[in-house]
Amino acid sequence: MASNKKYWKNEAELNPNDSIVEALKQNEFVEQIPVDDFLGDKETLSSTNTNRRDFLKYVGFSTAAASLAACEGPVVKSIPYVVLPENIVPGVANYYATTVANGFDFASILIKTREGRPIKVENNTLAKIGGSANARIQGSVLSLYDSTRLQGPMANGEPVEWDVLKATVKAKMGGLKGSAKKIAILTQTYASPSTDRLMADLVAANENVVHVTYDAISEDAALNAFENKYGERALADYDFEKADLIVSFGADFIADWQGGGYDAGYSRGRVPKNGKMSRHVQLEANMSLTGANADKRVAMKPSAQKVVLAKLYGKLNGTSVGGNTSEYDVLVDSIAAEIKKAGSNAVVVTGLDDVNAQAVVLAINEMLSSKAFDTAAPKYIRKGSVKAVNALIADMKAGRVGALLMDGVNPVYSLPNAADFKEGLAKVDLTVAFSTNWNETTEAVQYVGATNHYLESWGDVQIKKGHYSLMQPTIKELFDTKQFQTVVLELLGSEQSYYDYIKDTWSSSVLNGANWNQALQDGVFSADTMVVNEEGAAQNVVASETPTEVVANTSMASAIRSLANTTSEGMELTLYSKVGMGDGQQASNPWLQEFPDPITRVSWDNYVTISKADAVELGVENVNVANGGMDGNYVKLTVNGVSLEKVPVVVQPGQAKGTVGLSFGYGKKVGLKEDMQTGVNAFALYDGFNANQSVSVEKVAGNHEFACIQLHKTLMGRGDIIKETTLEIFNTKNHSEWNEVPMVSLDHQEVPATSVDLWDSFDRTIGHHFNMSIDLNACTGCGSCVIACHAENNVPVVGKAEVRKSRDMHWLRIDRYYSSEETFEGDNQKKDGFDGLSGDNGSLGGFGELEDPSANPQVAFQPVMCQHCNHAPCETVCPVAATSHGRQGQNQMAYNRCVGTRYCANNCPYKVRRFNWFLYNNNDEFDFHMNNDLGKMVLNPDVNVRSRGVIEKCSMCIQKTQKTILDAKRDGRVIEDGEFQTACSSACSNGAIVFGDVNDEKSKVAELKASDRMYHLLEHVGTQPNVFYHVKVRNTNEA
């Protein structure tokens, strides 16, 4: 029997109100130990008995004692499955095809799982349609293991049972049946046949249900223009591979324009084949990723773009377009001439949020009957309607909405009129938000349904007409979450699971007799026969529409008029989405926060980009401080009376004068760890869902510290880093002229650097010899390789403060170089022409000029990882032989051997070695993902997690090459070309990074190595790298 005796250690404990006893229950001491008082006081510190030497002795002794005591190994437990799932072999990865469809990113992908944990996103090579995994999708696997995710449903901020939530919603919906009040469903774009059917079912069951689709970053103008012309709410599809000439009016189509996914086709057209490559003309305000890749980039205000577009239409159409100015006539003439020459091989696109501009572009492409333009099978990945959303808000404010269910959206954060929405929310009787994370909207509603991450969900997507993808769970729900569709099915009283519901939809209207299991395994399904039929039907429709052409023409005339008369006053703001953050859904993802913007190279921030001229006028600047970090001033932005105070400024070379840019996706505060609460919320300025706004900018006090990993300086004509030429020279001249081998002096003779060798070479012809090819023409700088490398190699996230100190850990960086002249050749010639120190051609002033990235610089991207030099400078200086060379060409790094002298990093001419300044895992100072059990689930078990004090670097994914070799050995077969992959090469859908065995003569990489465009980085150093680059060729041929 249990005893009720009470024991005490001190009489005071018998007094229940004793404060000291209470304090001691919680703490070891009643008062805090005055550590700070002691350590903070210099005098006391210097008068202490323990001087520095004694202190070191104590430390030494205690370390030795501790390490001796630690000699006993720990007891490690090993817990096998009770029942091993049939398809899991511990230690062997399984791949599942699934689809990401979060309303912003849509792509068919493969998920690598280990022991049931998804750990990596790969491209689904069977998917021919839609984008491949971009940086955000690559990073999305970490969002699954986000420790700040919602772990169960909530009611008014308190955890609640699902049954309660469902019963409440069901009762409310039942009560509203037949009443005048609406039940509104506000969701992301699903592009899902099954969810569409489900919504229709919901409407059928309860006729006051309205389904409103809302895209945080709207493509409303393009959707409206398409709908007006073709009668369907969708987006035209483009295949840039088929275009010889691409003219873009502010469309960032390499990044997220109209849902993205165009970069792979674009890149294929950019690689010179048989002397031909596509030509790309970009007219834009911000320096975008697309503009950075253009052959010709014209920096201009959005208002000017509209005028030029209208005039171009007139020129092509043969009609005269008025307008207020003849300023752009020369430009329009030259573009029109080029387009006419290219004919149906040209394509025009625009990113202007203007229905007229979008309509004009559709008309031009139709007129050209552009081969790259597809309206028969349009894309469905944006559906959001501004009109419907605004109507809903009006209804809410008027009290006409009885219940509001939201899924996949965060309107309180992302609506420009969020205040109105919040006001409306208060008048809705029942508000439910389905979300994976606690955010601004979940905070404002009554009930929160914790939803699944897409890797835990079922789903289907029709990215493009006739092209379907399936989403399947790759892990069981980590928390007590349900996906929205499951809850809706339960609300409808259906016993069916959403999986069965999808299967039903597919067998009745998609598969057409094809095998469901096969479709699920492939992840993609194309209804080929159907497409042909529909295409025929579409053509018929177009043909029958001819009589209405007149109507269309009159509306087109008014569109042109309104475009041509666009005027601008003051500064213009162009809002855009960053490659890393997109619309901000994954703001809690440390990989994406630390991902440096391809253009500005700034991580952990958004900022106003401003041209140099405007910056001087406003008196704002960027300065580089002594530790290499970049600082900037703040400005205040005001659009239509809405202001953002204290937005940091980045002076952006190439930014059109009179314009500023600001990216979406930042400035989230609710539900995020403190480190992730970065930047400002640009959605506040997204007035009327238009990314182009008239803005007033004024300087405010303060200094902002950026975490920028590369300065905004130019290459200064150092063409041996990025070699660049024009298509004309490339086609007509010998490669020795445009891809010069650097010369060095040997015995007072000029000889090619490749012929001089300080070391004895090893015979590398036997076995595998890995090489990596990077084509600077195909690389768009999109950065999905950077995140893929992060995921594959357990690269730690270090945080903003550390990045600022140049301690970023990216094994693979994409350098961005500016060039002050129109071409790099120009810089070279200028540099070579320097004569003496001062004077007109003096190098003193000359280099200063080169250092200034002019108004519209040329940009080049260069992915740089460890070059795996055959004569590696790092290997010779390591005092402990921690880094050594393998027969297969890889420069190997034995972390457990490294003592952290950092000699190798000092001796590396490419600066690719990274030092672990701290222990980044299990360290709460680095509160990202490696310090909690959940975040650690993303780690690749085949790669070491490095500790403090060692150098780490790209291993050329030796774990992957070794696995490929082992698989072949086990099967007893020869390895085919294409089997060897690294994380970056398999992530690169653009074909810029190709990896393989050069000793296999038939391999693609061997062929690429023999190309005339091949060069090594800093060839004159004689390091003989195993990574080589291809000279960038620009198509400067004006028509």
Binding site for another protein (CB under 8 A): 71, 73, 75-84, 89-92, 763, 765-767, 882, 884, 886-888, 890, 892-897, 942-945, 955, 958-959, 962, 965-966, 968-975
Query: Judged by CB, which is closer to another protein: 80, or 318?
Result: 80
Query: Judged by CB, which is closer to another protein: 255, or 954?
Result: 954
Query: Judged by CB, which is closer to another protein: 293, or 867?
Result: 867
Q: Are 477 and 496 in contact (CB under 8 A)?
A: no
Query: Judged by CB, which is closer to another protein: 934, or 965?
Result: 965
Least Cβ distance, residue 980 to another protein (angstroms) = 13
Q: Is the dihedral of CA 248, 253, 258, 261 positive or negative?
A: positive
Least Cβ distance, residue 89 to another protein (angstroms) = 5
One-letter amino acid at 829 equals: Q
Query: Judged by CB, which is closer to another protein: 514, or 877?
Result: 877
Query: Judged by CB, which is closer to another protein: 868, or 871?
Result: 868
Query: Judged by CB, which is closer to another protein: 906, or 962?
Result: 962
**Ordered strands of the 117-123 beta sheet:** 93-101, 106-114, 117-123
**Using only C-alpha atoms, what is the Rg of the chain?**
31
- CA gap 718, 110 in Å, rounded: 41
One-letter amino acid at 272 equals: P
Query: Judged by CB, which is closer to another protein: 609, or 890?
Result: 890
Nearest to 1039 by CA among 471, 332, 1, 534: 332
Least Cβ distance, residue 866 to another protein (angstroms) = 12
Nearest to 627 by CA among 686, 707, 689, 510: 707
Least Cβ distance, residue 946 to another protein (angstroms) = 9
Query: Judged by CB, which is closer to another protein: 543, or 766?
Result: 766
Q: Can you tell me whether residue 881 is helix, strand or coil?
A: coil
Nearest to 123 by CA among 993, 861, 1027, 970: 993
Q: 10 Å Cβ neighbour count for 781?
A: 25
- CA gap 175, 162 in Å, rounded: 20
Query: Judged by CB, which is closer to another protein: 277, or 930?
Result: 930
Which residue has 């890149």 as its token pair?
267
Least Cβ distance, residue 794 to another protein (angstroms) = 11
Least Cβ distance, residue 883 to another protein (angstroms) = 8
Query: Judged by CB, which is closer to another protein: 116, or 845?
Result: 116
Q: Are 129 and 464 in contact (CB under 8 A)?
A: yes
* Tokens matching residue 563: 């475009």
Least Cβ distance, residue 79 to another protein (angstroms) = 5
Q: Phi and psi (nearest 5°) for 270?
A: -90, -10
- CA gap 453, 17 in Å, rounded: 49
- CA gap 957, 459 in Å, rounded: 33
Least Cβ distance, residue 993 to another protein (angstroms) = 20
Query: Judged by CB, which is closer to another protein: 422, or 764?
Result: 764
Least Cβ distance, residue 518 to another protein (angstroms) = 25
Q: What is the 3-state secondary structure (H, E, C) of 20-64?
A: HHHHHHHCCCCCCCCHHHHHHCHHHHHHCCCCHHHHHHHHHHHHH
- Pairing between β-strand 279-284 and β-strand 245-249 as defined by DSSP bridges: parallel
Which residue has 């600082």 as its token pair?
631
Q: 10 Å Cβ neighbour count for 46?
A: 8
* Tokens matching residue 537: 């039907």
Least Cβ distance, residue 959 to another protein (angstroms) = 6
Q: Phi and psi (nearest 5°) for 660?
A: -135, 160
- CA gap 579, 577 in Å, rounded: 7
Least Cβ distance, residue 1010 to another protein (angstroms) = 21
How far from each other are the two terminal CA atoms of the chain, in whole angstroms? 99
- CA gap 180, 420 in Å, rounded: 22
Query: Judged by CB, which is closer to another protein: 53, or 970?
Result: 970
